[in-house]
Structure formats: structure tokens, C-alpha cells
Chain A
């Protein structure tokens, strides 16, 4: 597993560095704007930018033929799949560190419009990103990276779809006027997304086990 993660890292280290710089630059600008809408964007941007290398690895693997060579390595197919799912989680964790680091860093010097807004929107961003990964991986393993554009569009649609689905579910069962509705919704979205991500991992393993190089 460590070898695979290391390979993912080496394959995309330049992109990770670029994403880090861009994330810090854009997020900092948004925080300094001291606007509620900018703070919401600052909660989203780190996650959206930082996960790009996770999907880029799939393209690199296909273009180089590494996705064929790995079948000859002493690794279980489930390990190959797991390395991708963990890689996305690691990038997501990096995005979380940057997002919260910048938030706490900037609020130390300037007033933030609302900490709750930031927490809620960052959780929602995590939920949407997890859903995007949950659809992207099995579809890429099944269709190949040639259809990556369609897969990206579908995964964005799926992420937003899950967002509205969880929102509608909560409105039905909890009601919008429930105390701390925003917090309940954000946590629920992350919880549902994690379940979908786990389910997606199972499906991807099944696809990979039947895959031929």
C-alpha cells in the first residue's frame, strides 16, 4: 500500500504543489474579503482544488500503462483500488488542514463574518467531494480514462444531486425550523457521503477483480 501511495505522490507531486499554492492564494484572498459569500467560497475552494491530483493519477496510470503493470505486482486487486480511495482521503485531509489553517490564521488577525457558516460549508464541500469520488472511481475503472470528461460531469452532478437529496430528506424528516438545522444538514451530508464512498469502494473492487489488462 505504501508503495502505491508513494507512486501516486511522485506521479502528481508537481500538481499537488501547484494546487497547494493556488489554494492558499485563492483562499487567503477570499478570507481577506471579509464577505459572507467569500467565506462560503473559501470553505469550498481548498477541497475542490486539492482533490484534482486524485483524479489526475488515474489518467497518468492509464497513459503510462502502470495500470496494466500493477497487475503483475504482488498486490491484491483490492489493495490497488484501496490505494486510490485512500489517496483521495489524504488529499481531502490536506485540503481540510489548509482550509481550517487559513481560517483560524486569518480570524486571528481579522474578524470573520461567521465561524458557523465556514464550518457548515466546509463540511458540505467534503460531502460533495466524497460523492464525486464515489462515482468517479467505479466509472473510471469500468469505462477507462478516455471518458474522463463525461465522468467528471456526471460526478459533479452526482455530488450536487446527493446534496439536494440529503437536504430534501432532512426537510421531510426533521424540518427546516429545527434548531441547528444547518449543522445537522452538514453533518448528515458528510455521514451519507462516507457511506456512499464505502459502497463505491466495494463496487470498484468488484469491477477491478473482473478487469483484464
Chain B
């Protein structure tokens, strides 16, 4: 059993929308942070919703820790740590009261660990959480997710709207989470630099379909972005073109594998952000 979370052909349709998840399949290895990248409405939150149980999948299989789960399985949710893009706790509570509430809900709630995270994140314990800043709110959400011995962490835009210090603090915690190789993280973020820093695998999604599922190492070593003229593009072997994007000043082309790329083409350094733009705004092959 090498994957802590697996999705197999998961589909989800909506009655009032043409958007649908079209057979989403991927897995999160133990000890891995997987970055889930896509523009708004691409299907990231919907996919996460089917995993955490806020949405009902139409078809497909979701396995967590090797066991098939559906949204009404209570036991599986003990293993799930969730951080939404907004804090979703009742606003009139303070952090201590929230801890009391959750200690009666999670069987494996660890009060001392929760207190430890409140201290580590410098969160006030006597202040109503409605007065928390966005950074404090997200840290509180993370503290909750980390305090009940969860194995699978789902973070939907958890770093959005945070200052660089706050973001780095959260990313450090995530790296700490997976260091013992017994947990896994799926995180979506529009800030691809955050994902680039911590993720070891990247999944790009567009219009409810996965366009690319690749390890970060492989993206660096096996892929390249070329900027070429329309004439030069014609000479690029089409079997190595993964995606291309026409621009005013030429065509950006994502190619793989690169060992068959003719030497006449210049490879240039690229970021995950550029790959994202190329996949989201361009055409895939």
C-alpha cells in the first residue's frame, strides 16, 4: 500500500451547471505533499469536496488508507484534516472553547497538541475567533486539523490572503507533517510559488479534467518550455509537445521528454507558474 489517498474515475455532475468532474484519478503517496493547481472553477474544490464529504460523487472510487470510503463513513473522517479557504468555526467561540467542542467530537483529539499549536502560532485563547485576522484564522484551522491525529490533510487555498511570513509558517508545518512518511497532504493554491516550495507532486486540472500529473523532479528534469516562432514550432517533433500557447510574440511550447529535443532549440529555466499558464491558457495535446 503505497498511497494514502487514491481517487479512481471520480465523476460529479451538477443539475444547474454544465460543469462536471470527468473521471478524476490520482493518488497521494505516503509522506507526500501534492499540489493541486488550476484556475477558479477548474474543479479543485469540487474534487476536494468529494473527498471530504461535503459533496456526493456520482461515480468512481475514493480510497483512504487503502479502504474505500464514502461521505457518510464516520470513522474515515477521524483520519481527515481539513482546512478550507475560510475559517468555518462558529464565530462566537474562542480558541479554548473550540477545543472543548472538538474534544467531544474527535475520538483522538489531543488537547495538549492543540494547546501547543495555539502557542506556536501565537493565537490568543481568550479572544472570540470572529476578531481573528485572516492569518490567525487559517492558523487556527490548521491547528485543529493537526490536533486529532489525522493522516490525510486536504487544504483548499489555505495560504491565500496571508502575508509571506504567515505563508512560510504554514508551509513549514506542512513539511513537518509529512516528514515521518505516514501522512499525506493535498493542497490547492493559486500561489504556485507556495506549491513549488513544498509539493513533491503536481496535479494540473482544467474544466474538471486532469491535464498533467507529474512529480516536481520529473517536471524539472523531463520537461522544458520553448519559446519559438510559428515556423520553428513546425519543426518541433509533435510527439513531444505536451501543450502550447500562442502569444503575440510567438508560441510557448511545453515539451516532454526533452532528450529527443533537437539541439537547435534553446531550453530556458521555467517556473510552475509558467507551466500553469501554458496549460490553463493554452492547448494540450
Within 8 A of B (CB), among A40-70: 60-61, 63-66, 68-69
Residue contacts A-B, CB under 8 angstroms, 26 given? A2-B104, A3-B105, A4-B101, A4-B105, A6-B100, A7-B90, A7-B93, A7-B101, A10-B101, A60-B90, A61-B90, A64-B88, A64-B89, A65-B84, A66-B89, A68-B88, A69-B82, A69-B88, A71-B52, A72-B54, A73-B105, A74-B76, A74-B77, A77-B72, A212-B49, A212-B56
Q: Is B193 on the interface with A (CB-CB < 8 A)?
A: no
| A3: B residues at CB distance < 8 A | 101-105
Among residues of B, the one whose C-beta sits closest to the C-beta of A74 is B77
Could you tell me if B90 and A74 are in contact, using CB atoms closer than 8 angstroms? no
A65-B87, A72-B80 known, 12 other contacts, Cβ within 8 Å: A7-B90, A7-B93, A11-B90, A60-B91, A60-B92, A66-B88, A68-B84, A72-B77, A73-B105, A76-B72, A76-B74, A212-B49
Partner of B84, one of A69, A76, A77: A69
Known: A65-B84, A69-B84, A213-B55. A75 touches B90 (CB 8 A): no
**Considering the chains assembled together, what is the distance between the CA atoms of A74 and B82 in angstroms?**
12
Q: Is A14 on the interface with B (CB-CB < 8 A)?
A: yes
Within 8 A of B (CB), among A1-33: 2-4, 6-7, 10-14
Within 8 A of A (CB), among B89-117: 89-93, 97, 100-107
| A73: B residues at CB distance < 8 A | 77, 105-106
Q: Is B78 on the interface with A (CB-CB < 8 A)?
A: yes
**Considering the chains assembled together, what is the distance between the CA atoms of A177 and B142 in angstroms?**
67
**Considering the chains assembled together, what is the distance between the CA atoms of A39 and B91 in angstroms?**
38
Shortest distance between the CB of B103 and any CB in chain A (Å): 7
Partner of A69, one of B89, B106, B107: B89
| A69: B residues at CB distance < 8 A | 82, 84, 88-89
| B106: A residues at CB distance < 8 A | 73-74
Shortest distance between the CB of B89 and any CB in chain A (Å): 6
**Considering the chains assembled together, what is the distance between the CA atoms of A55 and B236 in angstroms?**
65
Chain A binding site: helix, strand, loop or mixed by DSSP? helix
Shortest distance between the CB of A63 and any CB in chain B (Å): 7
Within 8 A of A (CB), among B33-87: 49, 52-56, 71-72, 74-78, 80, 82, 84, 86-87
Shortest distance between the CB of A79 and any CB in chain B (Å): 9
**Considering the chains assembled together, what is the distance between the CA atoms of A72 and B74 in angstroms?**
9
Question: Can you list the 3 inter-chain pairs with the closest CB atoms, starting with the nearest?
Answer: A3-B104, A213-B54, A65-B88
**Considering the chains assembled together, what is the distance between the CA atoms of A176 and B52 in angstroms?**
57
**Considering the chains assembled together, what is the distance between the CA atoms of A57 and B67 in angstroms?**
35
**Considering the chains assembled together, what is the distance between the CA atoms of A6 and B86 in angstroms?**
22
Could you tell me if B53 and A10 are in contact, using CB atoms closer than 8 angstroms? no
| A209: B residues at CB distance < 8 A | 72
Could you tell me if A71 and B89 are in contact, using CB atoms closer than 8 angstroms? no
Among residues of A, the one whose C-beta sits closest to the C-beta of B102 is A3
**Considering the chains assembled together, what is the distance between the CA atoms of A91 and B18 in angstroms?**
45
A 136-150 to B, binary, CB cutoff 8 A, 1 in contact else 0: 000000000000000
| B74: A residues at CB distance < 8 A | 74-76
